[in-house]
Structure 1
Amino acid sequence: MDTQPDPRSRRRDEAAESGGFADLAGSPFRVDRDRIVASPFFARLAGVTQVVNASGSALLHNRLTHSLKVAQVARAIAERVTATDDSGQVAAKLGGCDPDVAEAAALGHDLGHPPFGHLGEQVLDRIARHRYGLADGFEGNAQTFRIVTTTEVGGPTPEGLNLTAATRAALLKYPWARLHFPTPHPAAMDVPPRGAAEPEESPGTGSAKFSAYSTELDDLRQGRAPFADRVEVWQQTVEASVMDLADDIAYAIHDLQDFHRIGVLQHASVATELGQWRATMGELAELPAAELLDQHRKPGRSLEYLRRRMHAKDGWVTDDEAFAAAVAKVRGELVDELLAIPFDGSIEAEQATARFSARWTARLVNGVLVTTAPPTRTGHVTLRPAQWHEVQVLKFVHRRFVLQRPDLALHQRGQATLLAQLVDALDAWLADRDEAHRLPRRLHDLVELAHAEYSGLARVAPELLIGATGEPVRGTDAVRGLARGRAVIDFVASLTDRQAASMLDAISGRSEQPWSEPSVL
Structure 2
Amino acid sequence: MHNDLRAQRRDAAAEAATTWSDLADNPFRADRDRIVVSPFFARLGGVTQVVSAAGSGLLHNRLTHSLKVAQVARAIADRLLASADSAELVGKLGGLDPVVAQAAAYAHDLGHPPFGHLGEQVLDRIARHRFGLADGFEGNAQTFRILTTTDVRGPSGVGLDLTAAVRAAVLKYPWARLHRPDPHPSKMPNPPRGAAEPGDAPGTGSAKFCVYSTELDDFEQARAPYVSIIEPWQQTVEASVMDTADDIAYAIHDLQDFHRIGVLQHAPVAAELTGWLGGALELAQMDNATLAGQERRPGRSLELLRRRMHARDAWIVDDDAFAAAVGRVRRDLVDGLLAQGFDGSTESEQATAEFSARWTTRLVDGMVVVESPTTRSGHVTLRQAQWHEVQVLKFVHRRFVLLRPELALHQRGQASLVTNLVDALDAWLADRDEESRLPRRLHDLVELARSEYTGLAASAPEVLVGATGEPVTGADQVDGLARGRAVVDFVASLTDKQAVTLLDAMSGRSSQPWSDSFVL
**TM bin (shorter chain):** over 0.9
One-letter code aligned to 2:374: P
Q: In structure 1, what is the Cα distance between the partners aligned to 2:462 and 2:290?
A: 46
Match runs of 1:116-265 below 5 Å: 116-265=115-264
Where does residue 504 of structure 2 map in the other structure? Answer: 505
Where does residue 11 of structure 2 map in the other structure? Answer: 10
One-letter code aligned to 1:10: D
One-letter code aligned to 1:18: T
Secondary structure at the aligned position of 2:96 is classed as: coil
One-letter code aligned to 2:10: S
Q: In structure 2, what is the Cα distance between the partners aligned to 1:154 and 1:55?
A: 29
Q: In structure 2, what is the Cα distance between the partners aligned to 1:435 and 1:516?
A: 20
The answer to whether the Cα contact below 8 Å between 1:47 and 1:496 also exists between their aligned partners in 2 is: yes
The answer to whether the Cα contact below 8 Å between 2:177 and 2:205 also exists between their aligned partners in 1 is: yes
The yes-or-no answer on 1:63 pairing with 2:62 is yes
The yes-or-no answer on 1:408 pairing with 2:421 is no
Q: What are the Cα deviations for residues 174-194 of structure 1, in whole angstroms up to 9, with x where unaligned?
A: 000000101000000010000
Where does residue 399 of structure 1 map in the other structure? Answer: 398
One-letter code aligned to 1:17: A
The answer to whether the Cα contact below 8 Å between 1:97 and 1:239 also exists between their aligned partners in 2 is: yes
Match runs of 1:111-510 below 5 Å: 111-510=110-509
Give 1:18 shift. 2.2
The answer to whether the Cα contact below 8 Å between 1:175 and 1:234 also exists between their aligned partners in 2 is: yes
Q: What are the Cα deviations for residues 247-301 of structure 1, in whole angstroms up to 9, with x where unaligned?
A: 0000000000000000000000000000000001111001111122222111100
Q: What are the Cα deviations for residues 134-164 of structure 1, in whole angstroms up to 9, with x where unaligned?
A: 0000000000000000000122221100000
Q: In structure 2, what is the Cα distance between the partners aligned to 1:454 and 1:243?
A: 31
Q: In structure 1, what is the Cα distance between the partners aligned to 2:290 and 2:37?
A: 52
Where does residue 99 of structure 1 map in the other structure? Answer: 98
Give 1:515 shift. 3.2
The answer to whether the Cα contact below 8 Å between 1:198 and 1:205 also exists between their aligned partners in 2 is: yes
One-letter code aligned to 2:287: P
The answer to whether the Cα contact below 8 Å between 1:506 and 1:515 also exists between their aligned partners in 2 is: no
Give 1:519 shift. 4.5
The answer to whether the Cα contact below 8 Å between 2:501 and 2:515 also exists between their aligned partners in 1 is: no
Q: In structure 1, what is the Cα distance between the partners aligned to 2:195 and 2:452?
A: 25
One-letter code aligned to 1:6: A
One-letter code aligned to 2:333: L
Q: What are the Cα deviations for residues 306-339 of structure 1, in whole angstroms up to 9, with x where unaligned?
A: 0000000000000000000000000000000000
Q: What percentage of aligned pairs have identical amino acids?
A: 72
Give 1:55 shift. 1.3
Give 1:201 shift. 1.2
RMSD: 1.0
Q: In structure 1, what is the Cα distance between the partners aligned to 2:288 and 2:203?
A: 26
Give 1:517 shift. 2.8
The answer to whether the Cα contact below 8 Å between 1:136 and 1:213 also exists between their aligned partners in 2 is: yes
Match runs of 1:37-116 below 5 Å: 37-116=36-115
Q: In structure 1, what is the Cα distance between the partners aligned to 2:518 and 2:499?
A: 13
The answer to whether the Cα contact below 8 Å between 2:47 and 2:116 also exists between their aligned partners in 1 is: yes
Q: What are the Cα deviations for residues 400-441 of structure 1, in whole angstroms up to 9, with x where unaligned?
A: 000000000000000000000000000000000101211111
One-letter code aligned to 1:8: R
Q: In structure 1, what is the Cα distance between the partners aligned to 2:515 and 2:456?
A: 35
TM-score relative to the length of structure 1: 0.98
Give 1:373 shift. 0.3
Give 1:500 shift. 0.1
The answer to whether the Cα contact below 8 Å between 2:100 and 2:238 also exists between their aligned partners in 1 is: yes
TM-score relative to the length of structure 2: 0.98
Q: What are the Cα deviations for residues 39-69 of structure 1, in whole angstroms up to 9, with x where unaligned?
A: 0000000000000000121000000000000
One-letter code aligned to 1:230: I
Secondary structure at the aligned position of 2:340 is classed as: coil
The answer to whether the Cα contact below 8 Å between 1:443 and 1:488 also exists between their aligned partners in 2 is: yes
Secondary structure at the aligned position of 1:280 is classed as: helix
One-letter code aligned to 2:347: E
Q: In structure 2, what is the Cα distance between the partners aligned to 1:57 and 1:293?
A: 37
One-letter code aligned to 2:468: T
Structure 2 segments unaligned to the other structure (5+ residues): none
Give 1:14 shift. 3.7
Q: In structure 1, what is the Cα distance between the partners aligned to 2:152 and 2:473?
A: 30
Secondary structure at the aligned position of 1:155 is classed as: coil
Give 1:17 shift. 1.9
Q: In structure 1, what is the Cα distance between the partners aligned to 2:291 and 2:402?
A: 19
Q: What are the Cα deviations for residues 58-86 of structure 1, in whole angstroms up to 9, with x where unaligned?
A: 00000000000000000000111111110
Secondary structure at the aligned position of 1:358 is classed as: helix
Q: What are the Cα deviations for residues 467-505 of structure 1, in whole angstroms up to 9, with x where unaligned?
A: 001100000000000000000000000000000000000
Q: In structure 2, what is the Cα distance between the partners aligned to 1:310 and 1:187?
A: 19
One-letter code aligned to 2:196: A
The answer to whether the Cα contact below 8 Å between 2:248 and 2:390 also exists between their aligned partners in 1 is: yes
The answer to whether the Cα contact below 8 Å between 2:47 and 2:113 also exists between their aligned partners in 1 is: yes
The answer to whether the Cα contact below 8 Å between 2:325 and 2:388 also exists between their aligned partners in 1 is: yes
One-letter code aligned to 2:462: E
Give 1:100 shift. 0.3
Q: In structure 1, what is the Cα distance between the partners aligned to 2:180 and 2:101?
A: 24
Give 1:518 shift. 3.1
The answer to whether the Cα contact below 8 Å between 2:494 and 2:518 also exists between their aligned partners in 1 is: no
Q: Which moved more, 1:307-316 or 1:287-296?
A: 287-296
The answer to whether the Cα contact below 8 Å between 1:450 and 1:484 also exists between their aligned partners in 2 is: yes
The answer to whether the Cα contact below 8 Å between 1:76 and 1:365 also exists between their aligned partners in 2 is: yes
Give 1:16 shift. 2.3
The answer to whether the Cα contact below 8 Å between 1:503 and 1:515 also exists between their aligned partners in 2 is: no
Give 1:516 shift. 3.3
Give 1:170 shift. 0.2
How many residues align? The count is 517
Q: In structure 2, what is the Cα distance between the partners aligned to 1:517 and 1:42?
A: 17
Q: What are the Cα deviations for residues 210-251 of structure 1, in whole angstroms up to 9, with x where unaligned?
A: 000000011110001111111100000000000000000000
One-letter code aligned to 1:293: A
Secondary structure at the aligned position of 1:369 is classed as: strand
Q: In structure 1, what is the Cα distance between the partners aligned to 2:448 and 2:95?
A: 34
Q: In structure 1, what is the Cα distance between the partners aligned to 2:355 and 2:295?
A: 29
